[in-house]
């Protein structure tokens, strides 16, 4: 079986290609910075009546640790797709001097999610095209069709478009990808496969594929649909279909001294993402660590 790209990145060895594990004092300082950024995002959401929620590892951290997973170095915030444009406008009006919003309209950015980037900072990991600054992930919760057949077709379209964007991104940053994979045959094989497909798509610019993916995700306009999902989430379209009443409604959980929102059915949400044993700490060798090449906070030389 071909090694998936996600699994391949997990096998990246510290120091490979100039990348190092983020830990110790630098990790704690980054977590403090992200916590402040999240506070600014959430304050705008609460002022504007936008139903945000902590997502992914941040939701797991809130439930299991009351804050950050100790080795985690990011924050995920889910927002309703229908409210994203309003959030973007309000956030930039309030904080545009300090932050940038990275999304489908940002030249050179190629993620199927949005990011809030901290101006004057630098953060470069193996995820080329991610903005190059310290960031918070903003993941859109999209409406999904009520019809099973339409949902199947929508899911196939979103999954296919997301895969093509990923391949086109790999081709765009192929030299960096192969530099990372040097000396790791499994990693190199996974990367070459996606680069080869991306080469077939190179006649259309990266921005085209980025905008296509965002439009595919937002095709369903029914704001009262029974189902919602996170096509750009860690388990993609078919792995993240939820009943609206379970995840669009929220409850508050402690997170590093704050009371922030998570999905009302947080247990079902976390089981879907991490399995039934999500409250059990994984062994050291199975923990998801991120690797970085450059980290600079505002004001550092």
**Is pLDDT of 11 > 80?**
no
Highest mean pLDDT among 8-22, 228-242, 284-298: 228-242
Rounded distance between C-alpha atoms, residue 213 and residue 232, angstroms: 9
**pLDDT, position 3:** 46
Helix spans in 146-218 (H): 148-172, 174-181, 185-200, 206-217
Mean pLDDT of all residues in 80-102: 96
pLDDT at 270 over 90: yes
Average pLDDT of span 269-283: 94
C-alpha to C-alpha distance for 111 and 99, rounded to whole angstroms: 18
Backbone angles phi, psi at 160, to 5 degrees: -65, -45
Confidence of residue 125 (pLDDT cuts 50, 70, 90): confident
- What backbone phi and psi angles, to 5 degrees, belong to 31? -60, -40
Alpha carbons 101 and 186: distance in angstroms, whole number: 35
Model confidence over 197-236: pLDDT tens digits? 999 999 999 999 999 999 999 999 999 999 999 999 989 9
Task: Report the C-alpha gap between 232 and 223 in whole angstroms.
Answer: 18
**Rounded (5°) CA angle 297-298-301:** 80
pLDDT at 90 over 80: yes
Tell me: pLDDT of 301 over 70: no
pLDDT at residue 15, rounded to an integer: 54
pLDDT tens digits, 159-192: 999 999 999 999 999 988 888 777 778 888 889 9
Mean pLDDT of 130-151: 95
Give the other-Cβ count within 10 Å of 153's Cβ: 13
Does residue 123 register a pLDDT over 70? yes
Look at strands 76-80 and 135-144 and give their pairing.
Answer: parallel
State the pLDDT at residue 9: 54
pLDDT over threshold 60, residue 17: no
Sole residue written with tokens 């309209």: 105
- Integer Cα distance of 296 and 115 in angstroms: 18
Q: Check: CB of residue 274 under 8 Å from CB of residue 60.
A: yes
pLDDT in tens, 30-75: 999 999 999 999 999 999 999 999 999 999 999 999 999 999 999 9
Exposure pattern of 2-12 as b/e (b: 16+ CB <10 Å)? ebebeebbeeb
Chain segment 234-249, per-residue pLDDT in tens: 899 999 999 999 999 9
- Give the DSSP letter of residue 16: G
Token readout for 261 is: 């929102």
In DSSP terms, 115 is beta-bridged to 102, 137
Per-residue pLDDT, 152: 98
Contacts of 60 (CB under 8 A, 6+ apart): 69, 270, 273, 274, 278
For residue 7, what pLDDT band results from cuts at 50, 70 and 90? low
Look at the pTM and tell me if it is higher than 0.75: yes
Mean pLDDT lowest among 11-15, 88-92, 256-260: 11-15
Whether the predicted pLDDT of 126 surpasses 80: no
pLDDT of residue 196: 97
């Amino acid at each position: 079986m071909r090694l998936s790209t996600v699994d391949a990145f997990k096998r990246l060895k510290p120091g490979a290609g100039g990348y190092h594990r983020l830990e110790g004092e630098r990790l704690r300082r980054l977590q403090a910075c992200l916590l402040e950024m999240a506070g600014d995002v959430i304050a705008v959401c609460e002022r504007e009546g936008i139903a945000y929620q902590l997502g992914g590892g941040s939701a797991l951290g809130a439930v299991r640790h009351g804050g950050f997973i100790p080795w985690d170095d990011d924050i995920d915030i889910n927002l309703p797709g229908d409210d994203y444009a309003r959030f973007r406008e309000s956030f930039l009006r309030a904080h545009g001097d300090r932050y940038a919003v990275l999304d489908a309209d940002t030249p050179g950015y190629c993620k199927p999610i949005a990011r809030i980037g901290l101006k004057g900072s630098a953060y470069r990991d193996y995820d080329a095209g991610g903005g190059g600054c310290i960031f918070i992930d903003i993941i859109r919760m999209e409406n999904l069709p009520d019809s099973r057949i339409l949902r199947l077709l929508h899911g196939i379209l979103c999954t296919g478009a997301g895969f093509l964007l990923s391949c086109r991104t790999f081709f765009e940053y192929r030299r960096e990808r192969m530099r990372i994979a040097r000396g790791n045959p499994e990693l190199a094989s996974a990367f070459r496969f996606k680069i080869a497909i991306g080469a077939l798509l190179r006649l259309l610019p990266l921005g085209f594929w980025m905008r296509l993916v965002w439009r595919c995700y937002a095709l369903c306009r029914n704001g009262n649909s029974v189902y919602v999902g996170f096509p750009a989430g860690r388990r993609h379209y078919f792995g993240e279909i939820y009943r609206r009443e379970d995840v669009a409604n929220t409850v508050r959980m402690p997170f590093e001294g704050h009371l922030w929102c998570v999905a009302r059915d947080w247990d079902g949400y976390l089981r879907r993402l991490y399995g039934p044993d999500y409250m059990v700490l994984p062994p050291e060798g199975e923990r998801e660590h991120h690797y970085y090449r450059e980290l600079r906070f505002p004001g550092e030389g």
